[in-house]
Structure 1
Amino acid sequence: MHLPEKLSLPCQPRVVALLMNELRSTNPSLRRLNQLFGSDPVLAAWLLEQANAGIYQLSGMVQTIPQAVALLGVAQLRNLQKRALGHIAQRIPGLEQLGPFSCDCARLARSFASALSLDGGLAYTAGLLHGLGQIVFLQTQPQVQAVTKMESWAMGPWDPLRAQWERKHFGYTATQACAKLLAQWGIPAPVTQLIDALEQPLEMADFDPLVAVLHLAVWVQRGHYSKWTDREMVRNFPIEVALAIGLDMDVVLQQEAPDWSQSVY
């Protein structure tokens, strides 16, 4: 698996603008900063990378956005954003839905995790970041770049069956590429391990119910974003994964990603 030294990382322009505006205000709201960082996967990854840098002596320990915001503080975030936020790419063709899709996965993963008394914050982080692996594929695999430009190719980056195609052609999946990338950035192991195991939760040596939660949340949102019909969703539903953590198929399919915009994740 080859990972480039530099990647063009797409942020949502509106979120970047709102974040920079909040940081420029006299008294930035920590709650608002949590909301903004928690609504864009690239910004969230950048924030967690900074918070887990060795200078803070908490390397590998900061797993959620509120933890990172609290650790860095407004003054440090202001200094960091002057060097970084203005230089982040705003768009990559083929991945325009990365931000909204990632947020919906994160919200649904948190909802499922909370219902099972699991770590909702960790589920949110992994759900938000897992899609970054598609950036690696688009920027390192010419075959992916070619097929994503073909209008007749129905299996887009968020297709529920996409991981099988990736594994067949490349020997690894975008989520595994994401896990390796995040590990290189210093993102804590609990996050990267969840993402690495996301596609096949039942094949883990030691089953982790949080991986199953993440798998179901991501699978549901992939189906929605790929415009699968209700019949397709039911026919392809990963029933074994749901049964492993005691979730009913109807509950999973009918659960909508809650709006956490008024929360601190």
Structure 2
Amino acid sequence: MANGERFGMHRKVWGVPEALMLLPNAVVRSMVAGAPVGTAARSVPGMHLQQFWRYSLETARLCRSLAGIVHLDAVAAYTAGLLHAVGELVIHRAEAARIDSINAQAGPFDVRRADVEHNLFGFTYAQVSAGLAKRWQLPQVLVEALCYQTNPLNNDAYEPLAAVLHLAGWRARAGEAQFNDRELAMTYPGEVGMTLGLDIDMVLQQDPINWKPSLDEECL
């Protein structure tokens, strides 16, 4: 919608911050959640939306910060981080009848979540998020980054932004789980980090750029 002709745009909208300037945030929330405008957090079974957006914002900040090290577009990175898990909301609504049993295996922010979803469905929140980005006519680099974020080395045309998003997601999920040093070392995606020239210390020491959330972000 944000890239639609009815908004008079003659170029692609790169990110959510730009899109939110064009769309009422209630519309964005409705598109993302797939629910009628004004529905409460309980309308997404098994997901607390306030926690979801807090986690997503943390991932976005981490993604932007890491992108700066490897000289990738900051706005694209922030947007990828913010939208990387919106597919999870769709899955939670579509699988409402068994979402509790799925969450019992690996919660929404568990580092194992993508593996559990792939085993159960044959796809993950990553592909659903990419499908939404494509539907919203976001740039192809964002669609590919979202699609391959859980396995960035599995894409024939390697997309560095997918690798950055993978590392940012890992760190944000590790933070949610309050991993200790041993757990961090055991789960760090070293092969992905190597493609970017980033080791675990560089990723852990890189502070997310602590932007104060805008009113639009707080309302999502």
Asked if 1:245 is matched to 2:199, the reply is: no
**Larger gyration radius, structure 1 or structure 2:** 1
> CA–CA distance in 1 between the matches of 2:125 and 2:37?
25
Which of 129, 132, 152 is 1:181 aligned to? 132
- 2:138 is paired with a residue whose SS is coil
Gapped regions of structure 1 (runs ≥ 5): 1-48
Given the two structures, how large is their TM-score scaled by the length of structure 1?
0.69
Matches within 5 A, 1:89-108: 89-91=39-41, 92-96=44-48, 97-108=51-62
| Pair 1:52–1:59, CA change in 2 (3 A) | farther
Gapped regions of structure 2 (runs ≥ 5): 30-35, 215-220
Given the two structures, how large is their TM-score scaled by the length of structure 2?
0.82
Count of equivalent residues:
205
Q: How many angstroms does 1:144 deviate by?
A: 4.3
Asked if 1:118 is matched to 2:72, the reply is: yes
Residue 179 of structure 2: aligned partner: 228
Q: Is the 8 A contact 1:126 1:195 kept in 2?
A: yes
| Pair 1:243–1:142, CA change in 2 (3 A) | same
Q: Is the 8 A contact 1:156 1:226 kept in 2?
A: no
- 2:84 is paired with a residue whose SS is helix
Q: Is the 8 A contact 2:77 2:165 kept in 1?
A: yes
Q: How many angstroms does 1:195 deviate by?
A: 0.3
- 1:259 is paired with a residue whose SS is coil
RMSD of aligned alpha carbons:
2.7
- 1:191 is paired with a residue whose SS is helix
| Pair 1:155–1:60, CA change in 2 (3 A) | farther
| Pair 1:66–1:181, CA change in 2 (3 A) | closer
| Pair 1:63–1:161, CA change in 2 (3 A) | same
> CA–CA distance in 2 between the matches of 1:196 and 1:154?
23
Which of 56, 65, 82 is 2:16 aligned to? 65
Q: % of aligned pairs identical? A: 35
Asked if 1:169 is matched to 2:120, the reply is: yes
